[in-house]
Amino acid sequence: MKGFIFDMDGVVVDNHAYHFKAWMAFAEKYNFELNETIYRDQYNGKTNIDLFKMIFGPISEDLIRKYSDEKEDLYQELYKSKMKPHAGLEEFIKAARTKNIRIALGTSAPTRNVDFVLDLLNLRACFDVIVDGPHVHKGKPDPEVYLLCAQKLGLDPQECVVFEDSLAGLESAIRAGCRAVGVSTSHRPEELIGKTTEIIHDFVEAKGKFDL
């Protein structure tokens, strides 16, 4: 393998609970049905544009931006004092670099959340390529985000390993032709069985799996 591609939410950071709390507060305010099962199976891994169209139907771009800002304000306020890299992540990336493996971030998250995580945790320099929500026209499970990551890394998708926590993201990676590794944060390991053949809990475990 010549490239590692990391999703952000649930992979670079284990923040599932904080996004869920923010979405629940948002759902209560705007009176639509949401619970943990709906969130994990239908929300996780998708872009805000796709989500707000799913919730509210055809709405204007201005309204999508308003709702997105409101929800992400809630999330960032909840998470900013709790944020830390996922266990073993930095050591895993450092070890990968000693083997000349190229590193990308491929996420459906809005740029403001990418900046929030990477800059507060000083992780931006870890990534050779960053592709986030506004860079893609089709959200996960469409393969666009991972095809674009591979292209920007200068690699064939088959030369890339994708680390993903969401069902939509794993499908996206597999459809792109990448090797997909499930990270059991937003889903329990048994829920990922059948979605991918490789499952890890964190990057301490991954370091051994990839002989780094």
> Average pLDDT, stretch 195-209?
93
Domain boundaries, the chain: 3-14+85-209, 16-79
Does domain 16-79 match CATH 1.10.150?
yes
- So what's the pLDDT on residue 1? 86
Report the C-alpha gap between 44 and 19 in whole angstroms.
Answer: 9
- So what's the pLDDT on residue 114? 97
Pair of tokens at residue 161 = 């390993």
Report the C-alpha gap between 162 and 42 in whole angstroms.
Answer: 20
The CATH number given to 3-14+85-209 is 3.40.50.1000
Report the C-alpha gap between 62 and 6 in whole angstroms.
Answer: 30
When pLDDT is cut at 50, 70 and 90, the band that residue 5 belongs to is very high
- So what's the pLDDT on residue 211? 87
Instruction: Quickly list DSSP for 1-49.
Output: --EEEE-TBTTTB--HHHHHHHHHHHHHHHT----HHHIIIIITT--HH
* 189-to-48, 50, 197 alpha-carbon distances in Å: 26, 26, 11
pTM of the model: 0.91
| pLDDT tens digit sequence for 142-184 | 999 999 999 999 999 999 999 999 999 999 999 999 999 999 9
